[in-house]
């Protein structure tokens, strides 16, 4: 009998990471894929991206609507509660043997909480990273303590998961599975890409993505205004492609400013979601990426191009030499953009791996023994050398 692996995806931010792993599960003779789409995947404001999942050939086993229209702190907390109740019901229906999740989103916290009480083992991709500027930091480490198999993406993360008392024999440093997609993706010409996204590239172009900094003392409105003022400086000479903010508290506000900015500038265009094929083609085409998305640190180095990382959202996350950190100050951002435009291509080493991650993850999922006491975790003391 095949082992039933229930993969949870909440939106574009984890779907690209999980794509190759899910395709490998489907090909496996030992595993069966159950796919639950939730949160931003089911939100019209974020592109109803569950439709893209179906277009990619996946069967969506269950859909969980949990994202309230309010993105206030109260609204997010209520969304977590609603999601937890819904996941408990879904697990009762699907009866998975294991849950596979990626990252540190609040809907993933809900999925793992429900799995804990349902006594279903959890495999977690992306634990151990550090992002001191967002509440993702606390969510990620909480998920680690409720998980049983850990697929970390870098050595520093491996050490942190072990520091949290997890069994080192169940912590696997295979790198990020999204790099598998980057290496296997089909890359089209700039002209073809222009036709698909209905945008005319200029000589220089960049991609901008900015999410709420959930633990910042500064307001999202204050920060996005300063950032857009810096982008304004280049709006006549550079093509600017924007992917909108996520569903964290403050995301709606940021997106309203982005919409206004794009409507006032001919060389600026914004999207709710692009899909990973177009997104990675954009990374392959633009000169650099700017904002505070983890994609700039995880994925852009694989294209040997720079990322301007704004503010503290990604503070303490592993980064390559192609990452330029800058404060949320207009003059500093302008200076960083000028530096990125002058960047000379080099062989950037991506700290998140070089491929073949999905195959390694599948091998573990197929062969790890789920004994009767698998859920009972011993705390392993970790002493760093």
Check if the beta carbon of residue 264 is closer than 8 Å to that of residue 244.
no
Closest CA to 206 of 123, 285, 297: 285
Task: Identify the DSSP state of 368.
Answer: -
> How many other CB atoms are there within 10 angstroms of residue 337's CB atom?
24
Supply the angle between the helices 136-145 and 106-118 in degrees, to the nearest 10.
Answer: 20
Task: Identify the DSSP state of 203.
Answer: S
Query: How far is residue 345's CA from residue 159's CA, in Å, rounded to a whole number?
Result: 32
Query: How far is residue 205's CA from residue 307's CA, in Å, rounded to a whole number?
Result: 13
Return all residues near 256 (Cβ < 8 A) that are at least 6 apart: none
**pLDDT at position 71:** 78
- State both tokens at 13: 């931010």
- State both tokens at 7: 């993969």
Query: How far is residue 82's CA from residue 109's CA, in Å, rounded to a whole number?
Result: 12
**Residue 4 three-state SS:** strand
Q: How far apart are the first and last CA of the chain?
A: 43
**pTM of the full structure:** 0.91
- State both tokens at 179: 């790099």
Q: In what order do the strands lie in the sheet containing 122-125?
A: 62-64, 31-38, 3-9, 98-102, 122-125, 149-152, 171-173
Query: How far is residue 326's CA from residue 227's CA, in Å, rounded to a whole number?
Result: 11
Tens-of-pLDDT digits for all 385 residues of the chain?
A: 899 999 999 988 899 899 999 999 999 999 999 999 999 898 887 778 888 899 999 999 999 998 887 778 898 899 999 999 999 999 999 999 999 999 999 999 999 999 999 999 999 999 999 988 888 899 999 999 999 999 999 999 999 999 999 999 999 999 999 999 999 999 999 999 999 999 999 999 999 999 988 877 778 899 999 999 999 999 999 999 999 988 777 888 999 999 999 999 999 999 988 888 999 999 999 999 999 999 999 999 999 999 999 999 999 899 999 999 999 999 999 999 999 999 987 889 999 998 999 999 999 999 999 988 999 999 999 876 5
Residues in the chain: 385
């Amino acid at each position: 009998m095949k082992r039933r692996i229930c993969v949870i995806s909440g939106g574009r931010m984890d779907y690209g990471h999980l794509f190759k792993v899910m395709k490998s599960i489907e090909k496996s003779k030992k595993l069966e894929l159950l796919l639950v789409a939730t949160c931003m995947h089911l939100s019209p404001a974020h592109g109803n991206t569950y439709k893209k999942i179906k277009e990619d050939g996946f069967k969506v086993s269950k859909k969980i609507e949990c994202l309230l229209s309010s993105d206030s702190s109260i609204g997010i907390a209520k969304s977590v509660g609603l999601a937890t109740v819904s996941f408990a019901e879904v697990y009762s229906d699907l009866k998975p043997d294991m849950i596979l999740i990626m990252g540190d989103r609040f809907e993933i916290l809900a999925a793992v909480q429900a799995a804990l009480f349902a006594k279903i083992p959890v495999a977690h991709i992306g634990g151990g990273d550090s992002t001191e500027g967002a509440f993702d930091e606390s969510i990620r480490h909480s998920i680690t303590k409720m998980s049983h198999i850990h697929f970390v993406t870098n050595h520093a993360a491996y050490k942190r998961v072990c520091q949290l008392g997890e069994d080192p024999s169940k912590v696997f440093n295979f790198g990020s599975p999204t790099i598998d997609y980057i290496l296997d993706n089909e890359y089209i010409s700039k002209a073809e890409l222009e036709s698909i996204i209905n945008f005319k590239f200029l000589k220089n172009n960049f991609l901008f993505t900015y999410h709420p900094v959930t633990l910042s003392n500064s307001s999202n409105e204050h920060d996005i205004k300063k950032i857009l003022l810096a982008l304004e400086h280049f709006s006549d000479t550079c093509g600017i492609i924007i992917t909108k903010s996520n569903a964290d508290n403050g995301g709606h506000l940021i997106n309203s400013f982005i919409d206004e900015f794009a409507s006032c500038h001919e060389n600026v265009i914004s999207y709710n979601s692009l899909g990973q094929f177009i997104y990675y083609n954009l990374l392959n085409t633009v000169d650099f990426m700017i904002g505070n998305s983890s994609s700039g640190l995880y994925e852009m180095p694989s294209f040997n191009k720079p990322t301007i990382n704004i503010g503290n959202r990604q503070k303490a996350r592993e980064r390559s030499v192609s990452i330029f950190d800058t404060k949320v100050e207009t003059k500093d951002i302008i200076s960083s953009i000028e530096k990125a435009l002058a960047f000379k291509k080099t062989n950037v080493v991506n700290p998140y791996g070089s491929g073949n991650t999905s195959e390694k993850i599948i091998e573990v999922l197929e062969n790890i023994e789920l004994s009767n006491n698998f859920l009972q975790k011993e705390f392993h003391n970790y002493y760093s050398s």
